Amino acid sequence: MAEQNTTGAGGTAASGYDPQKVEAKWQKRWAEARVFETEADPSKPKYYVLEMLPYPSGTLHMGHMRNYAIGDVVARVKRMRGFNVLHPMGWDAFGLPAENAAIKNKTHPRTWTNNNIAEFQRVLHRFGFSYDWRREISTCEPEYYRWNQWFFLRMLERGLAHRKKSLVNWCPKCRTVLANEQVINGGFCWRHEETRVESREIEQWFLKTTAYSDQLLDDLKQLEGGWPERVILMQKNWIGKSHGAKVKFAVAGAAGAGPIEIFTTRIDTIYGATAIILAPAHPLVTKLLEGSPMRAEAEPKLAQMRQTSVKTEDLATMEKEGFFTGRYALNPFNDEMLPIWVGNFVLMEYGTGAIMAVPAHDQRDLEFCRRYKLPVRVVVQPIDGEELVAEKIETAFDEPVQGKLVNSGPFNGLSPEEAIAKMTAFAEQKGFGCGETVYRLRDWGISRQRYWGTPIPVVYCTKDGMVPVPDKDLPVLLPPNPKLTGEGESPLAATPEFVNTKCPKCGGPARRETDTMDTFVDSSWYFYRYCDPHNDQAPYDSAKVSYWFPIDQYIGGITHAILHLLYSRFWCKVMRDLKLVQHDEPIQRLFTQGMVLKGGVAMSKSKGNVVGAIEMAEKYGADTGRLYTLFAAPPEKDLEWSEESIEGSWRFLNRVYRLIERHAEAVRSVKGGKVEAVSASLKEKTLLRRAHQTLRRVTSDFETRWHFNSAIALIMALANEISDHEPLEQGVRPEVRKEVLELLTLMLAPMTPHLAEELWEMLGHAEGLWKVSWPAFNQELAREEEVEIPVQVNGRVRGRIKVAVGSAESDVVRLALALPAVAQHMNGKRVVKQIYVPDKLLNLVLG
RNA sequence: GCCGGAGUGGCGGAACUGGCAGACGCGCCGGACUCAAAAUCCGGUGGCCGCAAGGCCGUGAAGGUUCAAUUCCUUUCUCCGGCACCA
């Protein structure tokens, strides 16, 4: 790729195509004509297409670009199809990198952020994406984040925002709290993949996502067909609903301790319980140890376990460890005394933090009981297959559908399914248990001990306690000049002019909350703001939102399958309950595009493998860059960036340019008139047929299949076909050339909009292509007259015949049998069966 | 471990509902133009055998269903992604 400047941006003597000039020209015209500006208009069908808003971080690379190129194709196709299209863009502008960069460069996070935004704007403009820029939002502006605060206050009123002391994931490098979702690989920071997350106990603000567990789960049904199945599945798993029962076990002989409540999905196996196991963090553990003979031995183990248990490190492979508390619990079903243990594999965060160990029917319990020599008792025998013997079990029998109960008193003989129902009812009747549904989903911790985020709008008054900031005092502004050192816990706490305030209730001295909000708050509702971006009375006008919503098509990376999309769904449900929207789900269709890789990994600054979008635009032009990212792979797949292959797209656009340049003058002289199939010559018919066949397939690739790569392949093939018929002057009238070349141009328009405008103008149109509708497919012109049918003998192609479309089977067979190659392979044998797929294929099966 | 997804030429990929595997592009080979190069244009390009006509093999592997399988079924291997002591 040395000395490539003659190839790229400079253009070549062989072609007049100068993308730099063409693209600037049309971008200017679009802006002057305000082509992409749009207003709610109930008389027109709407289409809301949105790409996930970017975090403006230094360089806009080809990975971003691909996302926007896909969205822009959709937006432009829908516009050509007559929709009123909303296609906005904005900035996810709060966040840690800005703050870290500010510390490093001794500037303000705002400076860094706004510089990056300016750069992103420049690149997006350079690519000519069809955004309504008047709607641009930046989440770090008070006019935006005041509504974060407003929503927070509404949630506070409804009990959906609350404070609780909790163990949090603390990243020593970020010096802040991470959400569970931000802890990856079993204990590492999502931003610093080599940094192990620690745990600390701090007062934190939470949003009550768990209040909507069932709705978040059930409403996934509304998304089926519109969202990728795997995303729905990932959310389902994340919510992790499971049915079971809670059972209380009375504790024998420990004053003030108990009863212990356990959660199980297999109450049918309760006669097989041989121990009770508590999570190390379980509050009863300390009480149980008081006065226990095992106390001295157990306490150091507990201390050690409590320290390490919260570190999720290597959970899966970690040895199951535990100790006996010296206490016993009573199994309410059979009054059996069960030893109470503490086990490192029992999680305080799930269920009740306590389990019954049924070693015969749970693999984890089995491993634990074998290790500590606890007894194993079989209570479910398989219906068919070998009878289980407790002493010999190596793998727990945990398949509930194929068994029947034994050793279970009055429940013997029942299937596990029946037993679960009857035993749950029995427990409820006796008052020591009940059916229970538990979730894996937890509340969303939004507190961050950082500067560059939305201040949480509450104050603490010595007299009145926690007091919400009144709506009229919003926004709570970030102090303009924080001390950002990267040391200590929160920059806001170190800024007295921010912290010290007056209590809104009593007017006395008060302290402001110094936590700021997780940036996922910003991105949970930003797409509503686009509908009404400058409203200073409310987050948005509901009428506008109800016109544009739900989002018809959302496009972004699979990386946001859980966090962003789950929080957004939650936010929507809260807004619905606040009567701010009417729908249950904000996003009707979701498309997750693949990443752009370089050297097998996603482009990122830290990996140093970024291909800058602006460099591509300067070298080849925006249209070539857009076309290539769409052509190189189907949009949902990852794409390995290849500097070599992009040349193909560049060459193709030059070919098209030269082709149209060559015929522009002849075409321009054509005065109106539709092309009729009847009057066309053979050569003309071929071209018209090919053009309309291409149109049919490209239309479906754009609208339903989203196979942009194969759509482009078809358009390339059409261009090749046209060139193959050169010189068109011989036998192709200008009006036919016009029809064919215009179709070619219009089909390219959604992907290479600048070039298409230029070609459209060259073809003699005074009005911009942006005013033109998607072309109508002409069935008559597309119809084939003759087809070539492969003739198979015993399933192998032995010859081909040309017949008129719709020929009778008997005629086709007669012609086929006359082929010498077919006769030769018949080898005197008889045809025992013939399969004819009309106009497609003939297969002769010999006896 | 569980749940998804994917394996097609040297490479990216195409093949819509079971009907001609390899469209389109990259790369490569050959040719034209040129003093030469770049650009452009033309031709070739899955493997094996063959001078050729042609034949055989071929969509991760092995079976199966079918007149016909990249496509459907069973088994299996590899890679990628998600979740993971969730009781």
Question: A693 or A312, which is more confident?
Answer: A693
- Check residues 25 to 54 of chain A and report those whose beta carbon is under 7 Å from nucleic acid strand B: none
pTM: 0.92
Dihedral sign from CA coordinates of A103, A108, A112, A117: positive
Q: Is the pLDDT of residue A437 over 70?
A: yes
**Residue A390 approaches strand B within 7 Å at CB:** no
Residue nearest B42 (alpha carbon to C1'): A724
Nucleotides of B under 7 A from a protein CB: 3-5, 11-16, 19-21, 23-27, 38-42, 54-56, 67-69, 81-87
| C-beta of residue A65 within 8 angstroms of C-beta of residue A623 | no
How do residues A267-280 score in pLDDT, each as one tens digit? 999 999 999 999 99
Per residue, what are the HEC states of A223-287?
HECCECHHHHHHHHHHHCCEEEEEEEEEEECCCCCCCEEEEECCHHHHHHCCEEEECCCCCHHHH
Q: Is the pLDDT of residue A29 over 80?
A: yes
| C-beta of residue A243 within 8 angstroms of C-beta of residue A573 | no
* pLDDT for the residue numbered A414: 93
- What is the ipTM metric for this complex? 0.95
Coil, strand or helix at A132:
coil
Q: Is the pLDDT of residue A71 over 80?
A: yes
Helix count and strand count (H, E) for chain A: 26, 34
Token pair of A635 as six digits? 């949009």
| C-beta of residue A805 within 8 angstroms of C-beta of residue A787 | yes
Nucleotide nearest to A628 (CA to C1'): B25
Token pair of A349 as six digits? 């965060």
Confidence class for position A30, pLDDT limits 50, 70, 90? very high
* pLDDT for the residue numbered A452: 95
Token pair of A58 as six digits? 């230094």
CA–CA dist A757, A832 (Å, integer): 59
Across the strands, what pairs with A716?
none
Q: Which of A47, A72, A130, A77 is nearest to A551 (CA)?
A: A47
CA-to-CA dists, residue A42 to A35, A38, A48, A543, angstroms: 19, 12, 14, 10
CA–CA dist A706, A134 (Å, integer): 29
Place of tokens 């959906």: A160
Token pair of A314 as six digits? 């290597």
How do residues A166-194 score in pLDDT, each as one tens digit? 777 777 777 776 666 566 665 677 667 77
- Check residues 816 to 845 of chain A and report those whose beta carbon is under 7 Å from nucleic acid strand B: 821, 825, 833, 835, 837, 840-841, 843, 845
CA-to-CA dists, residue A676 to A326, A735, A739, angstroms: 96, 10, 11
CA–CA dist A353, A136 (Å, integer): 47
- Check residues 564 to 623 of chain A and report those whose beta carbon is under 7 Å from nucleic acid strand B: none
* A81-CA/B13-C1' distance, Å: 29
How do residues A615-653 score in pLDDT, each as one tens digit? 999 999 999 999 999 999 999 998 888 888 999 999 999
- Check residues 690 to 729 of chain A and report those whose beta carbon is under 7 Å from nucleic acid strand B: 697, 700, 707, 709-710, 712-713, 716-717, 720, 723-724
- Check residues 167 to 226 of chain A and report those whose beta carbon is under 7 Å from nucleic acid strand B: 184, 186
The phi, psi pair for A376, rounded to 5°, reads: -120, 130
Question: Helices A646-668 & A613-620, crossing angle to 10 degrees?
Answer: 40
Q: Count the helix, strand and coil residues of chain A and give each as a percent rounded to the nearest 5.
A: 40, 20, 40
Q: Which of A585, A447, A454, A594 is nearest to A527 (CA)?
A: A585
Token pair of A757 as six digits? 């405008």
CB atoms closer than 10 angstroms to residue A741: 27
Which of A250-287 are b and which e, b meaning 16 or more Cβ less than 10 Å from the residue's Cβ? Answer: ebeebeebbebbbbbbbbbbbbbbbbbbbbbbbebbeb
| C-beta of residue A54 within 8 angstroms of C-beta of residue A121 | no
